[in-house]
Structure 1
Amino acid sequence: MAQKLLVIDTDCGIDDAQAIMLALAIPSVKVLGITCCFGNTDVDNVCQNVLRVLSVCERTEIPVFRGSAGALVGAGRQFRDHFGTDGLGDVFEDRDSTVWKTSVQSEHAVNALTRLVSENPGQVSLVALGPLTNLALALRLDPALPDKLKDLYIMGGNMEGKGNVTPCAEFNFVMDPESAYVVLEEYLCPTHIATWEFTCRNKLSWDFFDQLVNQETSASRFMKKITSKCWAFSREFGVNKRDVLFGPGYVPYDAFAVAACVDGSVVTEKVDCAVRVELHGELGRGMMAIDHTNTLRKNHRVCVFKEFDTCKFKELLMASLNQP
């Protein structure tokens, strides 16, 4: 069986780390490279986080590329500490080390993205787990890039007008609305989106999370460590936005997009529709609007996930941390 080729673009926080490990655990998947972008934390922390994940999984041969440090337009929003100030739960004492810089490729992430796709036309699945700045910039460097992609998987945006940063917008999109707009208007390849509300509606139990992180492997011990001091993984945190809207539970946000990419059968219900990212308004900026009535008259449709096979998803997650 031919290997499935992936490039992962990430703002590596705890959920990104889980998603990357899921991809690495699939024998039929080959990760060509990981491109880094600001988002959960600054881009230097993101690079360090990705390198830590690859080291734990003994996959340091995969190249890591430093990318966008800020939004396409304007100063952008401040980072938030949902996954700790460093994105991995603030549990590592060697964060100030500069040794990691020698392990990051000198090639910029945007150049690497266009090159890796061009070297494998029609074969690469691009998985975007953070703000879409690297993807928007890559398109400006190579307008033919979407035509060379096999497909694109995105974790981000929303489908019901519910937000987790503003009343109407999801984190990845609101961090760089212009880039999200560019990508969803101009990447005309097959595009699949795991929205924030979708991931929350398909949440997993905390009992399953305990099983997941208590496997006797280095990967599970790593995940247990990075979630140990993070308030987002505390059952006693109290009522937050997600709990109010969807009820409590464990939501491995980015892993949904990777799971769908490596095994499309986990998606049990979807809607194919035109979408557009709103760039204006105090409350609506960054919101992804779904055009159910074809008001926009757009030819390009994207696949927006609605339901997931949680049994298969749990199996993929368990396997992702069942690495020595």
Structure 2
Amino acid sequence: MPIPLLIDTDTAADDCFALLVGLLDPRADLLAITMVAGNVGFDQQVDNAFLTVGLAGRLGQVPVHLGARDPLVRPWLSAEDVHGDGVGGLKRPDDGHEASAEHAVDAMIRLAREHKGELRIVAIGPLTNLALAVQKDPEFVSNVGSLFVMGGSINARGNITPAAEYNIYVDPEAADIVFSAGFSDVVVISWDPLTITDALFDQGRIDRIAALDTPLSRFFVRANQATFDFDTAVGLAGSSHCDSLSVLLALDRSLSTAERRYRLEVETQGTLTRGATVFDWASDDNNVTAIETVDGERFFDYMLGMLATTPVIAQSAA
């Protein structure tokens, strides 16, 4: 049976590719895409999501729900310096499709109730929508089957500040609420060390994707260019693909080659450490499982195979 899946996203670059995993993998029953303030302007994120759904040939099949346009208590901080507009200047076609009238938080709560104990939520942006769902519905936490969170760093190396990863930094209060809520199964895909060790695509890998010359591979190369340029400029060996990895892990945990239980706490007050994630390896009160290593070659091969496919509608959309 396909896995009931919800992806909560701030759609730009790798978020788009993560959506493709959820949209195209036959193991996934993608029930909803929920939007949260993050990488780029909110309306741009929504356009990016619909563009991606169209490329996958799934318009009208997977609803897009609009969620929080701002963090809980802080001003929004973009990552447009990293991602540009998130899709390499591509414009969403005037396809007539609109976002659902149901708010993202209400959709989360409803789907968790309808698929109690089975729904897997993959959060690849700030955790604002999830925190609001926790606050709104006392049963939400127990209804969710598994929660996969792309965020944080196990060794405290950040990508927005020296101490903090972007998704947690943007709304640390929301992250604190989510990690303290008592979800039965929380899996964390960290930016460091996991992503920048096992989920980087160097120029050779990008060239292999480009050589496919399919609508999806052309989209990947174009939407990924700004992120690739930024990541390599700051010393990484290629572009990072933590969001795609997170969705794939929600569908296929066998990709993980090492994981460990931790007590995870979020710093909300520190002047220099706002948004830092503290992974306590010695705690007897663990609340997350952190994926520590994955089979990076197998991950890339999966992405290469997915991008080699040509969804029917994608031919006229790229």
1:99-114 pair list within 5 angstroms: 102-114=97-109
Match of residue 264 from structure 1: 253
1:28, 1:71 → 2: CA distance? Answer: 32
Aligned-partner residue type, residue 179 of structure 1: A
The secondary structure found in structure 2 opposite 1:154 is: strand
1:238, 1:322 → 2: CA distance? Answer: 25
Match of residue 68 from structure 1: 68
Q: CA deviation at 1:101?
A: 7.8
Residue 292 in 1 paired to residue 281 in 2? yes
Contact 1:205 1:249 in 2 (8 A): yes
Percent of residue pairs bearing the same amino acid type: 30
Residue 205 in 1 paired to residue 202 in 2? yes
Match of residue 18 from structure 1: 17
Aligned-partner residue type, residue 287 of structure 1: A
Q: CA deviation at 1:46?
A: 1.1
Q: CA deviation at 1:320?
A: 2.4
Contact 1:154 1:193 in 2 (8 A): yes
TM-score for both structures, normalised by structure 1: 0.89
1:104-183 pair list within 5 angstroms: 104-183=99-178
Aligned-partner residue type, residue 81 of structure 1: D
Q: CA deviation at 1:19?
A: 1.0
TM-score for both structures, normalised by structure 2: 0.91
Runs of 5+ consecutive residues of structure 2 not aligned to the other structure: 311-318
Contact 1:6 1:127 in 2 (8 A): yes
Residue 302 in 1 paired to residue 298 in 2? no
Q: CA deviation at 1:224?
A: 2.1
- Please identify runs of 4+ aligned residues in structure 1 that moved more than 4 A: 99-102
Match of residue 278 from structure 1: 267
Q: CA deviation at 1:132?
A: 0.3
Q: Alpha-carbon deviations, 1:22-45, whole Å to 9, x = none?
A: 222211211000000110012211
1:158, 1:141 → 2: CA distance? Answer: 28
**In angstroms, what is the RMSD of aligned CA positions?**
1.9
Contact 2:206 2:221 in 1 (8 A): no
Aligned-partner residue type, residue 83 of structure 2: F
Contact 2:232 2:239 in 1 (8 A): no
Residue 321 in 1 paired to residue 307 in 2? yes
Q: CA deviation at 1:79?
A: 4.4
Q: CA deviation at 1:187?
A: 4.0
Q: CA deviation at 1:162?
A: 0.6
Contact 1:25 1:319 in 2 (8 A): no
